[in-house]
Amino acid sequence: MTPHWTATGLSQDLPKAVAMAGHWQGQDLAIWRSASGRVQAWNDRCPHRGMRLSHGFVRGETLACIYHGWVYGADGGCKHIPAHPALTPPATIRVAAFACAEQDGVIWVAPADMVGAPVALSGLQPLRSISLTCDVAAVLAVEPALSGGDMLRGLVEIGGQACEVCLLVQHNAAGLTLHALCAVGADRIAASRWLEDLRRRAERKEAA
């Protein structure tokens, strides 16, 4: 499969100086935003004792593991080991970092050597992320106006009006997460209810 960008979350759900758990192609991720606002996606595992880095804490432009406070800098390299304050950590202590881009209010992840930017989503605003216990076929079956594979787009009826939507698909063990965007200027509350209704219909379809 050619390398490509996958939507792993929405910018609005990751405030500054916060780490959160994410995933990408079966890999657990620690996705975090530094104090200055830069978003990064790393392997969700401290190389020291295997603790999830998504439980860690952000200070400035670094992410620290919550277990022993090991501090990792912007490149994933270990910068400081609190148990040995005078030690300069060897360069071999490093967390695997993935390519991470933030564009159109969406956090995208790709292999580390990815070149190029994610697809532009002009005219759309981020709405919300929602998890479904069904597959894409069930979503398409209950909403024929949508089409696509990893990006479902179409004009659907929201609050009595035609509205452009874009659902960025992320597969996981339990089913799907959809990172939803809708047309700029659309009624966001109505769009959110439409999305919840879509989930109910698609999950019912899957169960049937």
**Shortest reach from residue 84's CB to other proteins, in Å:** 6
Nearer to other proteins among residue 84 and residue 149 (C-beta): 84
Using the Cα atoms of residue 26, residue 101, residue 10 and residue 72 in order, give the sign of their dihedral.
positive
**Shortest reach from residue 41's CB to other proteins, in Å:** 16
Distance CA 115, CA 92 (A): 25
Q: Half-sphere exposure (CA, 13 Å, Cβ side) for 113?
A: 2
Q: Which of 8, 5, 73, 2 minimizes the C-alpha distance to 34?
A: 73
Nearer to other proteins among residue 15 and residue 82 (C-beta): 82
Residues near other proteins, by CB under 8 A: 28, 44-45, 47-52, 55, 65-69, 81-85, 87, 92-93
Q: Which of 105, 76, 88 minimizes the C-alpha distance to 7?
A: 105
Nearer to other proteins among residue 49 and residue 200 (C-beta): 49
**Shortest reach from residue 22's CB to other proteins, in Å:** 15
**Shortest reach from residue 56's CB to other proteins, in Å:** 9
Q: Which of 203, 15, 207, 1 minimizes the C-alpha distance to 107?
A: 15
Assess contact for 119 and 5: CB atoms under 8 A. Answer: yes
Nearer to other proteins among residue 51 and residue 119 (C-beta): 51
**Shortest reach from residue 171's CB to other proteins, in Å:** 20
* Helix (H/G/I), strand (E/B), else coil: 24: strand
Nearer to other proteins among residue 28 and residue 135 (C-beta): 28
Write down the residue that tokens 């966001």 correspond to. 188
